[in-house]
Structure 1
Amino acid sequence: MSRGRRLRAISFVESAAVLMCSTSLSATERNLPGANVESVVALANQLSPELAAAALDADAAAHKVGAAGVLADPTVTLQAWDVNGRGIGQRWIGFEQEFKLWGKLDLERGVAEADAEAARHQSRAVATDLIARVKAAYAQYGAAHRAIDLSLGLKRRLDEILALLRLRYGASSVDQQEVIKAEIEAATAETEVARRQGEAKAAAARLNALVGRGSQEPLAMPKGFRPLKTKLTLAGVQELARVANPALATTGAQVRAAIGTKELTDLNYYPNVTVGANFVQRPTGDNSGMFMLGFKVPLQYEAKDAEQRAASSRLGAAQMRYDAIRIRLDGDVAEAWFGLEAVRKAIRIVEQRQLSPARLSVETARSGFAAGAADLATSLEAERRLRAIELEILKLKVEEQARYAELERLAGGSL
């Protein structure tokens, strides 16, 4: 085979290997979570031990309903009478069963169902809180990678300026101090890139921990911030929160459980009834039976009065907590909503009144510096000012994402 053919064959093999490697990497990248917020939220629902623990607590409370509102196990008795040297005179075989009357069983089941409902809403509260934190952390993760891009762009521009000054040094009016200053600025930009890369790794570790993964597990590159609804009204979000907020629903279920407990203590003055029967077996003569009906006499009125007063206090406390959470919820929603509106206004102001002039200033400074009509200080200042404005917008957008996630948490789900 000629040398040219061998080179072409090697080149073909290398190209195929690169293509296969890039295809494999792109497939791996597609399978990684982190490209969008939905992927990490789904992973949190699947892996988070915090959510699993809350779900198990709710499951345990639900199973308790099956043990409430049922009769106690009956008692079976075996008795021997007239036992002496000649043997056993009589054998009694019987059972006893206690019956809770006056609707006590239904009340016990109602209390258990209310407790199970409270546990279920509490589990949902844990889920909405975690999802809100995941969404805020994902915004920081995306912003960290965007900040790296901005820092790299500034570094490339400063490297270009430094290279141009070195070419001009000695051949024009550029002196050594300007070259040194450009070198210091380029080194500062490189330091900033390293710092931003560290922040991105920290944001990824924080996000992995929230979803229940190892801190160094790989994540896909973020594709940007998630889109947010802009047409929201304060009254609409407050109404949704009153209906769907899990903390308020939990307290409502606790009020219903306290009402049932209070009614049960009211019925403590009415005794339970015990019914029994015995079969009497005699060695001589006819066998016979016995029947028994008994109840406890409610003489300890002071103890029952104390239980009733305690149940009344617990019910009042539960009702006051419900009112307090309802009032505070309206305030928290209003606070988050006004904060979100303020951040959005700030973003519009910075984008419309600062970003465009800063970009124009950079273009003018670059053209002037390339033509030798603008000095180094003017060009550097324009570049730094543009990057500072872009980073400020990035910071505001992260805050917007976090405030929107907080509003969703208060509303009990996605808006």
Structure 2
Amino acid sequence: MTLRRLGLSLLVLAAAAAPAGAGERAAAPGANVESVVGFATRLSPELAASILDADAAAHRVGAAGVQPDPTFTLQAWDVNSKGVGQPWIGQRWIGLEQTVRLWGKTDLEKGVAAAEADAARHGSHAVELDLVARVKTVYAQYNAAHRAVELAISLRQRLEEVAELLRLRYGASSVNQQEVIKAELEAANAAADVVRREGEEKSAVARLNALIGRQAQAPLAAPKGFPALKARLTLASVQEMARSYNPQLAATHARVRSATGTKELTDLNYYPDVTVGATYVQRPVGQDSGQFLIGFKVPLQYEAKDAEQRVASASLGAAEARNDALRIRLDGEVAEAWFRLEAIRKALKIFEHRQLPPARLSVETAQKGFDAGAADLATLLETERRLRAVELELLALRVEEQSRFADLERLAGGSL
């Protein structure tokens, strides 16, 4: 799975370096969050680097826990200025020596390497989850910016219609020049706001493209709205999921296993490795013979080995402490994100059911009254501002909801 993801990342990275063509424009992401996330997981150089690191750590497992290479020896006796013997009548010793690591040291080394590979793999998964959470947050900002442009254009059109109506009424009714000027100023402000909102949308496009590994000016499809989120979440269920699937916590578990294996290896340093060998002796005169050897290093440097044990013990304690600290912090971060999400959703309901309908009704009533000459310009403009403020606040709350939900998914280790 890792190699397949890596291959896809490298292939698409190479393709991303080429100029965007008509085919890419036709298949531009952005219509929904899934399309953007898909591009991010394929194009992100940061994610590709983490996958390579995990792949390198996985390959180190194959190099760990192996016995040393054997040593081949060739000895020639009776060597003089003319060569070996007179000529080549001296003894020749042909031997092979092998150091054997006993006491389970090789299995421990392989276990340590496997634990480090697991930590790297979980670290790569954490990078991916963090990338996806950031992409979802920025996509929500892009979605809100696109919607804000639509709202700004709608407001500009309404105010331009009001200004045009006042210009037609000027001189033929009680409309004075100050009202016409005020309406024209409001329409101009609305037009300027459209330009500013369009700039914010382009900025969001550039930010999103950079995050998913595309050129800043690469086209994005128009978003189709905020993605639907799971409505019912319990704090206990999300915390339990985080304890089981959070990749950072899993990586600290793996580092505890690695530190435990390293500590056990240092305990075995007092047990020496054994060297065995055999030599075949060729004699110029008489019968050939052989000899065998066995040897081991005498572990006299106890101070160094004691120091290694103390280092390994301290490292194991530190790994366990980090694991406990991360578990406690993870529970707190999940609770914080969950309570903020709940508060945002309650605020959204208030704005959607208690502020947005009255604000829209107020604008409709003021517009009808203004068209009939029963309401003044100030009342109409005030209702428009109030509706505009509610709509923008709703967009901000939507972005915050999407961001907090993405944080919960990142902490939980996957989709909720």
Q: TM-score category by the smaller chain?
A: over 0.9
1:159 has 2:155 as partner:
no
Contact kept? 2:409, 2:415, Cα under 8 Å = yes
Kindly provide the amino acid, as one letter, of the partner of residue 246 in structure 1: P
Contact kept? 2:359, 2:387, Cα under 8 Å = yes
Taking the TM superposition and a 5 Å limit, the aligned residue runs for 1:352-371 are: 352-371=353-372
Q: Distance in 2 between matches of 1:81 and 1:339?
A: 85
| Identity in percent | 71
Contact kept? 2:32, 2:223, Cα under 8 Å = yes
Q: Equivalent residue of 2:242, what SS?
A: helix
Deviation by residue 1:317-355 (Cα, 9 ceiling, x = unmatched): 000000000000000000000000000001111111111
Shift of 1:30: 5.7
Q: Distance in 2 between matches of 1:351 and 1:60?
A: 51
1:402 has 2:392 as partner:
no
Q: Distance in 1 between matches of 2:23 and 2:43?
A: 23
Structure 1 residues 28 and 62, CA gap change in structure 2 (3 angstroms): closer
Q: Equivalent residue of 1:221, what SS?
A: coil
Shift of 1:387: 1.0
Q: Distance in 2 between matches of 1:378 and 1:208?
A: 43
Structure 1 residues 34 and 168, CA gap change in structure 2 (3 angstroms): same
Q: Distance in 2 between matches of 1:91 and 1:198?
A: 86
Deviation by residue 1:142-177 (Cα, 9 ceiling, x = unmatched): 110000000001000000000000000111111111
Kindly provide the amino acid, as one letter, of the partner of residue 48 in structure 2: A
Q: Distance in 2 between matches of 1:80 and 1:270?
A: 35
1:39 has 2:42 as partner:
no
Structure 2 counterpart of 1:117? 118
Question: How many residues matched?
Answer: 390
Deviation by residue 1:47-74 (Cα, 9 ceiling, x = unmatched): 1111111001000000000011111111
> Structure 2: 5+ residue runs without aligned partners?
1-21
Kindly provide the amino acid, as one letter, of the partner of residue 191 in structure 1: A
Shift of 1:262: 0.2
How well do the aligned residues superpose, as a CA RMSD in angstroms? 1.2
1:193 has 2:194 as partner:
yes
Deviation by residue 1:254-305 (Cα, 9 ceiling, x = unmatched): 0000000000000000000001111111222221111110100000000000
> Structure 1: 5+ residue runs without aligned partners?
1-25
Structure 1 residues 46 and 242, CA gap change in structure 2 (3 angstroms): same
Kindly provide the amino acid, as one letter, of the partner of residue 40 in structure 2: A
Shift of 1:119: 0.5
Q: Which ranges of 4 or more aligned residues in structure 1 deviate by more than 6 Å?
A: 26-29
Deviation by residue 1:222-261 (Cα, 9 ceiling, x = unmatched): 0000100011000000000000000000000000000000
Q: Distance in 1 between matches of 2:24 and 2:326?
A: 46
Structure 2 counterpart of 1:63? 59
Q: Distance in 2 between matches of 1:388 and 1:286?
A: 106
Structure 2 counterpart of 1:12? none
TM-score by length of 2: 0.92
Shift of 1:197: 0.4
Q: Equivalent residue of 1:33, what SS?
A: coil
Contact kept? 2:360, 2:387, Cα under 8 Å = yes
Q: Distance in 2 between matches of 1:311 and 1:28?
A: 54
